[in-house]
Structure 1
Amino acid sequence: MPKGPAPAQPSHAVAIAFDGTDEGALPRRLAVREAHLARVRPAAEDGTLTLGGAILNEAGGMAGSVAITAHASLAEAQRWWAADPYLTGGVWQRVEWHASRFAPLPYRALPG
């Protein structure tokens, strides 16, 4: 089991992405959802995508996304996400980017 101090430099990028709020927002998301999932599944398998999922609104509908990727810089993460159908298809209207330095948990190593 990995032990020791956290990495000294960023190890992951966190994207908090918000869908549009117009009437076309959900249809835009649904139109490209399968293409988005087809792109992120291999990234999850190879460790690039560490965690991802939908942000839900009060009604339980999809209103955005949270994703953590194994990119040491925000620029790398932004370049990688730039090809994603949720960005190219206009689903995500605003994205907050955060560099992070994740450390292994005491009971298992982090993916990616």
Structure 2
Amino acid sequence: MKQATDPLSRVFSALADPTRRGILDRLSQGESTVGELTTPFGMSQPAISQHLRVLEDAGLITRTRQAQYRICAARPEGLSEADDWVSRHREIWTGRLDRLEETITGLTTD
């Protein structure tokens, strides 16, 4: 499968994995080192680093170096484009479902 290159696809692709969503949940509580992120997921540090790379490429986290530690932090603004897309589509489908309900109600009251 071809790797997504547009920002919105990268965000949705990153969020498709439950481990990456778990990492984001953890980082929503505050910064963490890679080592601290490894423990709750029962994965090796290289495996967590791969997940972190995907999240960073999608613009959902930042990684910085402090001495020998790599510090990870969530970037909530990275979700804004996905949130906008979901909101637009929610409005469209809510409107369509409301019109369908009106049509069905009109048919059953005749």
Q: Name the structure where helix makes up a greater proportion of residues.
A: 2
Structure with greater contact order relative to length (CA < 8 Å, sep ≥ 6): 1
Give the TM-score normalised by structure 1. Answer: 0.26
Q: Name the structure where strand makes up a greater proportion of residues.
A: 1
- Structure number with larger C-alpha Rg: 2
Give the TM-score normalised by structure 2. Answer: 0.27
